[in-house]
Structure 1
Amino acid sequence: MKIIKLDAIDSTNSYLKKLLNKESLDDLTVVVSKHQTQGRGRNGNVWSNKPSLNLAFSIYKRFSDFEIDKKFMLNVISSISVYETLKKYNLFDLTIKWPNDIMTEDKKISGILIENNIRGNRIKHSVIGIGININQSEFKNLPNATSIFIETGKLNSVEIIACELQKILEKNFNLFKINENELIKNYNSLLYKKNETSNFSANDMSKFQGNIIKVGIDGKITIRVSNKQLSKYSESEIKLII
């Protein structure tokens, strides 16, 4: 497995996609950068990243036969892999916030951005961007952000965590080939706010309360709303309010 190390770049995802346009890459090629000036999150959000303190990581994954209907499994594989990487660092109450944020004690410690190359009804390859807050000591104007250092008081090697994450991602992609049901089961067991009364906002700006029951392989979340009715939503329809 190849790791490309950079001092600074606008976005590791963008760099990896540009590289793919120029040359053929080995499966599971990784790009890491000490500084990312225009890190991107889901829904156009910007990821705050101070130089050399956090992990800016993107991995290329090639597929031979990946049905687009199962694309949410990329969120499952990626978020479980980050969870498994972080759990050895003594973080309290580590969970996965649907669809793919990693939380510790109600604060976000990692986010994931997945960009797919689609042909017909198949995903040909994916570029998976992962940001993990490691040694940053403060996040101005981001009250819901945290890092390993803030939570534990210990500094850690960004490079070691990158290598650990790459190996765990490979393991879970191999597991996906033989037992995708185990992965979605594990994902559901780690869900943030599962079976707790939580607040949600909908596209029409309305707000409601409900209990998260589970997430399906299609990525839709099942919520028991106040009238005890079960409703399913896609990530484009609602947002969990922290």
Structure 2
Amino acid sequence: MHKKLNQSFLDLVSYLNDGQYHDGNSLGDALGVSRTAIWKMIKKLETYDIEVESIKGKGYQLKNPLMLLDSSRIASQLTCKSIKLDVFESINSTNQYLKDNNSQTAIHVCTAEQQTHGRGRLARKWHSPFGQNIYLSLAYRFKKDMSELMALSIITSLAIRKTLANYDFLSEPMIKWPNDIYYANKKISGNLIEIQAESNSDTRAIIGVGINVNMCNANQDQIDQNWTSMQLNLGHAIDRTELCITLINQLIDSLQYFEHAGDASFIEQWAQYDYLYNHNISLIAFDKKINGIARGINDMGHLLIEDTNHQIKSYAAGDASLLRKRI
């Protein structure tokens, strides 16, 4: 199930974002809707766990700013204009939506305020609270065979890292093989790549991206690993629309470069931001546990691990974690 964002709902949130109290009649007059319609939209916000303070005689006030995605602004500032863009209020999964809607458009982007069944690698649930983070998927058609897309998660991770580097973090965001972005030893972003084979040796890649943006609270049962967000580190709320624009433009720029020039330059870039490099790590791959020292990646984007016999072996997939501090 997916629901498009309603303009009246967006306008209501925009009014409430000024930090002041607004009564139902004034809001109804401003939006051209009834007081009952305002009440229903307030109740909708509350179902999304958005805190709205209501005081008789004063009206409604958002306890914290809520920066919803502005689809018109996103569309107007994309450098590539031949893009199909869908922005939803709520959706089961942005990746699943693009898989189910095989648009003939070369690039199709779907983003949402909330995912009800968001997922990451290894079928892990991706916590997706309403209006807090980036939940975005991009479908891109390649004139390449599936075997030529082995390094796509490397390219995607570098594009996300470059997007985050536009902000004033105290240090560089790093990339944890194969698809996570870490900041201050905590996960801030991840991506999920799904490939569909098509006729004439074409392939359609669906690239799902999650970024923790303005999320400041989550229970252990919602996220079972160390995490952080942009707001927690930068000290202020982030304009998610601006971030979304930058991310889409950077992803497309990287994918177009890769399509024409290959992945060699991306493999070289990886070394600068390799979170695991020279660390003792443990890799779980196909129910097998491998311990060793991370030695970067090879030209196919596979993880290199040096074992106790000082032999270096490559691994195409798996779940890596740090064991001790850098040696």
Question: How does the TM-score come out when normalised to structure 2?
Answer: 0.67
CA shift, 1:11, in A, is 0.4
Contact in 1 for aligned 2:95/2:208 (Cα 8 Å): yes
User: How big is each residue's C-alpha offset from its partner over 1:22-65, in whole Å with a ceiling of 9 and x where there is no partner?
Assistant: x42x222211101111101111001001100000001010112x
The structure number with the bigger radius of gyration is 2
Counterpart in 2 of 1:31?
110
Counterpart in 1 of 2:177?
98
Pairing partner for 2:154 from 51, 60, 76:
76
RMSD: 2.0
Contact in 1 for aligned 2:177/2:274 (Cα 8 Å): yes
Unpaired runs of 5+ residues, structure 2, are 1-82, 323-327
**Matched residue type, 1:162:** C
Deviates more, 1:171-180 or 1:44-53: 171-180
**Matched residue type, 1:47:** W
Change (3 A) 1:93 1:127: same
Contact in 1 for aligned 2:165/2:172 (Cα 8 Å): no
CA shift, 1:222, in A, is 1.1
Pairing partner for 1:187 from 239, 245, 270:
270
Deviates more, 1:147-156 or 1:217-226: 217-226
**Matched residue type, 2:320:** L
Contact in 1 for aligned 2:132/2:213 (Cα 8 Å): yes
Contact in 2 for aligned 1:138/1:146 (Cα 8 Å): no
Give the whole-Å Cα distance in 2 for the aligned partners of 1:37 and 1:228. Answer: 46
**Matched residue type, 1:68:** M
Establish whether residue 241 from structure 1 lines up as the match of residue 324 from structure 2.
no
Change (3 A) 1:222 1:205: closer
Counterpart in 1 of 2:141?
62
CA shift, 1:120, in A, is 8.1
Give the whole-Å Cα distance in 1 for the aligned partners of 2:202 and 2:293. Answer: 33
Pairing partner for 1:161 from 231, 238, 243:
243
Give the whole-Å Cα distance in 1 for the aligned partners of 2:155 and 2:106. Answer: 16
Counterpart in 1 of 2:234?
152
Unpaired runs of 5+ residues, structure 1, are none
User: How big is each residue's C-alpha offset from its partner over 1:96-151, in whole Å with a ceiling of 9 and x where there is no partner?
Assistant: 11111111111111111111112589452111110111000022113411110112
Counterpart in 1 of 2:214?
135
Counterpart in 1 of 2:164?
86
Deviates more, 1:151-160 or 1:193-202: 193-202
Give the whole-Å Cα distance in 2 for the aligned partners of 1:43 and 1:123. Answer: 26
Deviates more, 1:189-198 or 1:10-19: 189-198
Contact in 1 for aligned 2:108/2:138 (Cα 8 Å): yes
User: How big is each residue's C-alpha offset from its partner over 1:177-225, in whole Å with a ceiling of 9 and x where there is no partner?
Assistant: 12521111112322112122233345445452x2211212333211112
Contact in 2 for aligned 1:13/1:129 (Cα 8 Å): yes
Contact in 2 for aligned 1:70/1:218 (Cα 8 Å): no
**Matched residue type, 1:48:** H
Deviates more, 1:68-77 or 1:2-11: 68-77
Pairing partner for 1:18 from 84, 97, 100:
100
**Matched residue type, 1:199:** S
Counterparts of residues 180-219 of structure 1 (less than 5 Å): 180-206=263-289, 208=291, 210-219=292-301
Higher strand share: 1
Counterpart in 2 of 1:116?
195
Q: Identity over aligned residues, as a percent?
A: 28
Alignment length (residue pairs): 235
Counterpart in 1 of 2:312?
230
Q: Looking at both structures, which has the greater relative contact order when contacts are Cα pairs under 8 Å and sequence separation is at least 6?
A: 1
Pairing partner for 2:302 from 209, 212, 220:
220
User: How big is each residue's C-alpha offset from its partner over 1:37-95, in whole Å with a ceiling of 9 and x where there is no partner?
Assistant: 1101111001001100000001010112x122222221122111100100122333411
CA shift, 1:234, in A, is 2.1
Give the whole-Å Cα distance in 1 for the aligned partners of 2:179 and 2:94. Answer: 18
Give the whole-Å Cα distance in 1 for the aligned partners of 2:274 and 2:202. Answer: 26
Deviates more, 1:216-225 or 1:130-139: 216-225
**SS of the residue aligned with 1:188?**
helix
Question: How does the TM-score come out when normalised to structure 1?
Answer: 0.89
**SS of the residue aligned with 1:13?**
helix
